[in-house]
Amino acid sequence: MKYIIVTGGVMSGLGKGITTASVGRNLKNKGYKVTAIKIDPYINIDAGTMSPYQHGEVYVLKDGGEVDLDLGNYERFLDTELTRDHNLTTGKIYQTVIDKERKGEYLGKTVQIIPHITNEIKGRIRRIAAKSGADVCLIEVGGTVGDIESMPFLEAVRQMYREEAPENIAFLHVTLVPIDSQGDQKTKPTQHSVKELRELGLTPHVIVARCKKALTESTRSKIALFCDVPVEAVISAHDSADIYEVPLQLENEGLSNFLLKKLLLESKLEVEDTSWKEMVVRMNNCTGKVNVAIVGKYTHLEDSYISIVESLKHGAIETGCNFDITWFDAEAFDDDSNEVEKLSGFDGILVPGGFGERGTEGKMLAIRYARENNIPYLGLCLGMQLAVIEFARNVAGLEGANSSEFDENTPYPVIDLLPEQEDVVDMGATMRLGDYEATLKEGSLAESIYGESVITERHRHRYEVNPNYVDRIEESGMIFSGKNKNRMEIAEVPSNDFYFASQFHPEFKSRPGRPSPPFKAFMDAMLKKSKDKKDQ
């Protein structure tokens, strides 16, 4: 097994995740099977209980793992499916070690960071890598060098380097090269970051320098000299117009060839896979534009909805158009219902998932506006539940209908806990998480979108459409075109041109070059809406 270990210095948010995903994509293009592990030093067991304000989007994997958003980038760039094991946290490691200690597995020894915690980290990395069957395992160590939380993980990978053959591990360090007021690129932050890394016993083989503009040759040479790496191992990761261009940029910088040489590997393919490059060309040649309104409650923090934005991009690339997003805070509609009129000029309205009552009435005003004005509507998870409540209240005559999550005394709990979900043990115990099947109604919009009768999509929710109200709602014109036994998976309003709401999260399975069917269909509907407006 070959390992590429990615660390970061100077500051967080430099793009270690995109760099890791891009390296993996380029190796895949050369015929290698690649897997990826994200190490998050926080003590939480997983990202499931974190607020989007804290850590951005909670990404859900096929096995129900609630993980860091970087694993979403890994899945999209590598076009793969990972599991919860691919996200290591301090909480997971310590919980396992403490459980073993309680069972007496350490035979009375004093349990310490070294060797017990570090052995657990190394063991997990090696098991995950072996189980994947990959040729190369990428390991991103979250945080920055010097963070106290990261120390056990950095020590573990230091030990791995001692234990593995030198040609089996490469260290890649992502750092910052800022520009001063005179326009000069400054290398001191990189030098100090590498110095701190060395103090921990780690020596980088490659330095990926994040910078506004391409590294000058003098800057590159200075970093190579002071950080003791070859000039060709100093990689310029200057700002790109789009993250999907980063793999091409790193390839042009020679990063893949340097890593292959370090790991004693050669390209497995006579002709490399060019599908990613072709996708980027299509993206850059898109013409026209549609305008989409996203009505949510974390709208000032785009990372909260990163998979949705990327899925819209995937749909746009395949549709051949560009798109602009305008973010609307649902609470603004709560405060003044007339504000919803601002949605009139949009080609589509999207209401994403979420938890809690805040902003729900404003979201329902947006959903009603989309339905009554025949604006293409895409609802995701809570966006479906609120669509059902809105329809029940305003069309099916169920005045006061609501979710029992928001109003325990509602006369019509059209959204409710099903009987098997009523006893909550912990935050994740009663949620539907990960892959579930849905059977689609023949002749429905859903069936035409997916082109098949049975689909599998990822879920993250607790409340469901109450089966006791399904007949009443369907008699009024909304149909549930996707079902999993007594669980409603998809809601449509056939009298509208495009009205599609799903209990699942289709954005988690969307990929560049292979967009999620609902997002592609939504983009098609918005493009038609845009053209129809121009023809009027």
pLDDT at 425: 40
Q: How many residues are recorded in the chain?
A: 536
104: left (phi over 0), alpha (psi -120 to 50) or beta: left
State the average pLDDT for the chain.
94
Please tell me the predicted confidence (pLDDT) of residue 357.
87
Domain 286-535 is found in CATH 3.30.450.20: no
Annotated binding site for Mg(2+): 70, 140
Q: What percent of the chain has pLDDT over 90?
A: 88
Residues 6+ apart with CB under 8 A from 346: 291, 292, 293, 326, 375
* pLDDT on residue 126: 98
Dump pLDDT digits (tens) for 150-208: 999 999 999 999 999 999 999 999 999 999 999 999 999 999 999 999 999 999 999 99
What is residue 355's predicted lDDT score, i.e. its pLDDT? Answer: 86
1.20.120.80, 3.40.50.1240, 3.90.1300.10, 3.40.50.300: CATH of 2-279: 3.40.50.300
pLDDT band, very low/low/confident/very high, at 428 (cuts 50, 70, 90):
very low
pLDDT (average), residues 131-150: 95
* Confidence label for 423 from pLDDT (cuts 50, 70 and 90): very low
- Phi, psi angles (nearest 5°) of residue 342: -65, -15
pTM of structure: 0.94
Instruction: Reduce the DSSP state of residue 133 to 3 states and report it.
Output: coil
Judged against a pLDDT cut of 80, whether residue 86 lies above it is answered with yes
pLDDT at 536 > cutoff 90: no
Sign of the alpha-carbon dihedral angle for 98, 99, 105, 107:
positive
> For residue 421, what pLDDT is reported?
54
Residues with a known catalytic role: 381, 505, 507
Please state, in angstroms and as integers, the Cα–Cα distance from residue 497 to each residue in 334, 342, 370, 377, 517, following that order: 27, 21, 11, 9, 16
Domain ranges for the chain, please list them. 2-279, 286-535
Q: Which of 5-9, 52-56, 127-131, 248-252 has the lowest mean pLDDT?
A: 52-56
Instruction: Decide which of 402 and 420 is more confident.
Output: 402
2-279 and 286-535, same CATH topology = yes
* Structure confidence by residue, pLDDT tens digits, 443-464: 999 999 999 999 999 999 999 9
Dist. CA 33–CA 140, nearest whole Å: 17
Q: Which amino acid is at 346?
A: F
